[in-house]
Amino acid sequence: MTALRQALVDYLAVRRALGYKLAREEQILPQFLDFVEGHGEPHVKTEAAVAWATLPARSDAWSSSRLRVVRGFATYLHAIDPAHEIPARDLLPSQSLRATPYLYSEQQITALIAAAGTLRTPHRVATIQTLFGLLVVTGMRIGEVVGLDREDFDAHNGCLVVRGAKFGKTRELALHPSTTTALRQHLRRADRPSPSSGTSALLITSVGTRLRICDVQRTFRTLTSRAGIVARSASCRPRVHDIRHSFAVATVLDGYHADADVGHRLALLATYLGHVSPAATYWYLSAAPELMQLAADRLQRHAGELS
């Protein structure tokens, strides 16, 4: 194993110890090292990094993303040996194309759940409706729901345990009694297949295997079409992840309507969503005009009371 290959192993180990999963880095950094070593270079150089990041030429965003991955590795290498160069941040810049959150109304959520009733088998109908129901009432990431095991559902105490989520965090989610009852009933369905060997998933397919995210996303696109849920603009299209945004906005809106302490609720919401800090939650709230208006009204009212 070359020094660069060993450094990559160490780099991934260090970052993962900090909670990062680095699936993409593990996939593409060896390709970068193939390129570097193929040119007989024992060190990472900016020229080589840019040349590799732009091959194959797909888009500015693609090249910028690849260079960003290399930059992280190069920063680690430079701390060990200054002969390694760190590509400047202004190389291959790319404008952020972050999607605008698609906030679902209650009517759209109802239509989506109803559309799931058109799926082929009763078990698949029940599974997809339960999955979307969990997304709606917990705001979990789709990967977190798919990753739930039977042991993660505590029916007695009415909670779910989300393990190994983003940044390696584990959290416990309290459930409304109606959600606990619905989950318990789903698990007791007579048509629930026997789990395949080695599968302990909470939600399973018709052949007893764990659901796959790509299949859920494909089903979601089919059901949004059947439910008449359409894109609002080129950057605001219905996505599974936007159910999480909708949950966050609805939670804060409830706080404003109840005249509650929204700051305290926001801190609780950040913990419930599995965010590192409330600051990471603000992006989820920025696309809701009603929420912005309520916040402005409360601020104006507070200013009036002070005067």
**Separation in Å, CA 204 to CA 118, 191, 192, 193:** 18, 12, 8, 8
The arithmetic mean of pLDDT across residues 263-282, rounded, is: 81
Question: Same domain, yes or no, for 67 and 139?
Answer: no
pLDDT at 50 (0 to 100): 94
Question: Same domain, yes or no, for 216 and 138?
Answer: yes
Please, are residues 53 and 61 in contact by the beta-carbon 8 Å criterion?
no
Q: How confident is the model at residue 98 (pLDDT cuts 50, 70, 90)?
A: low
Reported as a single tens digit per residue, the pLDDT across 57-89 is 667 788 899 999 999 999 999 999 999 999 998
Q: How confident is the model at residue 304 (pLDDT cuts 50, 70, 90)?
A: low
CA–CA dist 225, 230 (Å, integer): 7
Who has greater pLDDT, 252 or 30? 30
Number of domains within the chain: 3
Question: Residues of the chain with pLDDT > 90: what percent?
Answer: 62
Q: Which of 198, 226, 254 is the last residue of a domain?
A: 226
pLDDT at 305 (0 to 100): 54
Examine the pLDDT at 296 and tell me if it is beyond 70: no
Q: Read off the CATH number of the domain in which 206 is found.
A: 1.10.443.10
Catalytic residue check, 284: yes
Other beta carbons within 10 Å of 218? 11
Give 92's contacts (C-beta < 8 A, 6+ positions apart): 50, 53, 54, 60, 63, 64, 67
The three-class DSSP label of residue 208 is: coil
Catalytic residue check, 275: yes
pLDDT at 225 (0 to 100): 96
Of 141, 186, 210, 245, the active-site residue reads 141
Asked if residue 285 is part of any domain, the answer here is: yes
Asked if residue 231 is part of any domain, the answer here is: no
Asked if residue 246 is part of any domain, the answer here is: yes
Examine the pLDDT at 289 and tell me if it is beyond 70: no
Asked if residue 98 is part of any domain, the answer here is: no
Examine the pLDDT at 240 and tell me if it is beyond 70: yes
The residues with which 154 forms a beta bridge, in sequence order, are: 159
Of 21, 78, 163, 166, the active-site residue reads 166
| In the block, residue with structure tokens 């977190």 | 144
300 is in which domain, residue-wise? 242-306
Predicted TM-score of the model (pTM): 0.70
Question: Residues of the chain with pLDDT > 70: what percent?
Answer: 89
Of 15, 237, 241, 265, the active-site residue reads 241
Lowest-pLDDT range of 151-165, 195-209, 264-278: 264-278
Q: Average pLDDT over the chain, rounded to whole? A: 88
Examine the pLDDT at 307 and tell me if it is beyond 80: no
